Structure 1
């Protein structure tokens, strides 16, 4: 299996197809398999890269406090390792947030962004400010099996097959690493970075996704020239809830903006 050793972690990745590069980054507690429907459809015309964020899937998580700045450093190192001059970055939830930070910190490496159900802060309003500490406490107290089953049920409302995938991805993380990574994830903050994004950006949001809905209008207005599209019959795991529509919209964006290097 292909790995990259970087910043104290072993990062697992997969490459399929050839052509302009598109890097897909999964959400928290998921893994690279989240993007299977998109890779299957797009690898014929694009070099598609999926990877496991440190602490997820086959990637390792070094001991100690998790620094969220390492997420974008890892992605930049992966691009360098694969000798990719620049790429379109596509991410969901945490993966979208990592993509935002990569575009802000390494703008020369990012020629486009596709952000799906993406938050840019965990302190947007009182809900986040008080909800984040509560989530850390409750997740620490609850049995990890409860967290896994509850998440799997919530994320499989529109696509029942999501349940087995979520269970599998959760099972690749132990509770201690999950809590450490969740704490690092909650520290991610990009409000001050949004006006640094200058590449073409597509924002997708599931019509039933309440988790990040309140941030989407500000995300669109803050990233100048960004496009916004609502995905029908989809919750937070948008690309798996409605894979056909998401893939079509991604493909259209790639053709319009990034058909060639």
Structure 2
């Protein structure tokens, strides 16, 4: 358990295991606890770093500074604090606002990138329409728990205890205004991908109606060279709903593109 200073904000992170580094970045309904089904698996072979984005759980922050535009610099602050030149990133939903701009603008710091359950800040009119509509849904659910709509109905029916856990993890965070994810300052434009060569895997759930079942397929076309993967039984949160499947796919990608 440690903190990295990023412009006067203390960003909380944890380190587990040894080896080549992988940074896991949570979504808007999560925090570093969200990866409890990934850390034990990947820490056997990798140096796993989980973070609390600013304004989430232990990374306390004034509301005005809880903005995705700061996330890439926060990730660099963590890498610098750990003496890491380059790391792989796994980014769920909101976490892509940390990993994708960093990969596009500072590729020397990103060895490989996995994006999952996320519209990402890669700009197109189609993608921003999905982002706007999902942001409104997130804000409308803010006081009612987030699991419904984020997890597949069959998963909720079979695992009510996991739905409860999913919602309780979110309670540990400050309120987050998801509409900040749409600000012009966070857009990664097509020209930002000029010369992009970071190995990238774009994943999404076929039952993700919080975004759309096909939104990740469109995003993959916006990121040069991105590979694509579907989770047929997952909604928005494959890492939580199908952890063994998720870990296997991510592990195979890193075995090819970021070996331990």
Q: TM tier, shorter chain?
A: 0.7 to 0.9
Partner Cα distance (1:129, 1:166) in 2: 22
Check whether the contact 1:194–1:219 (CA below 8 A) recurs between aligned residues. no
Q: How does 1:89-238 map to 2 (within 5 A)?
A: 89-121=89-121, 124-125=125-126, 127-128=129-130, 131=133, 134=136, 139=139, 147-156=142-151, 157=153, 158-159=155-156, 160=159, 161-174=161-174, 177-179=175-177, 182-187=178-183, 188-192=186-190, 193-195=192-194, 197-210=196-209, 211-238=211-238
Distance 2:51 2:250 in 1: 18
Q: CA deviation at 1:248?
A: 0.2
Deviation, 1:253, is 0.8
Deviates more, 1:221-230 or 1:98-107: 221-230
What is the CA–CA distance in structure 1 between the aligned matches of 2:84 and 2:232, rounded to whole Å? 33
- Asked if structure 2 preserves the Cα contact closer than 8 Å seen for 1:12 and 1:51, the reply is yes
Shift in alpha-carbon separation, 1:96–1:259, aligned structure 2, 3 A: same
Q: SS at 2:37's partner residue? A: helix
Q: Structure 1 pair 118/131, CA: closer, same or farther in 2 (3 Å)?
A: closer
Q: SS at 2:203's partner residue? A: strand
Q: Say which SS state the counterpart of residue 113 (structure 1) adopts.
A: strand
Q: 1:237 to 1:162 in 2, by over 3 A?
A: farther
Name the residue aligned to 1:6. 6
Contact 1:195 1:222 in 2 (8 A): no
2:67, 2:199 → 1: CA distance? 28
- Note if contact 1:21-1:48 (Cα within 8 Å) is conserved in structure 2: yes
Aligned to 2:79: 79
Cα distance in 2 for partners of 1:250, 1:15 equals 19
Q: How far is 1:167 from its partner?
A: 2.3
Q: Is the Cα contact below 8 Å between 2:93 and 2:120 reproduced in 1?
A: no
Quote the Cα distance in structure 1 between the aligned partners of 2:8 and 2:215. Answer: 33
Distance 2:31 2:250 in 1: 20
Structure 1 length-normalised TM: 0.85
Distance 1:148 1:162 in 2: 19
Residues 206 and 214 in structure 2, CA contact (< 8 A), matched pair in contact too: no
Partner residue, 2:88: 88
For the 8 Å contact 1:65–1:184, the answer to whether it is kept is no
- CA contact 2:28–2:176 (8 Å) conserved in 1: no
How far is 1:163 from its partner? 1.9
TM-superposed CA distance for 1:164, in Å, is 2.2
Q: Number of residue pairs matched?
A: 249
User: For the aligned residues, what is the CA RMSD?
Assistant: 2.5
Is 1:32 the counterpart of 2:32 in the alignment? yes
| 1:203 shift after superposition | 1.3
Query: Do 1:155 and 1:163's aligned partners in 2 also have CA atoms closer than 8 Å?
Result: no
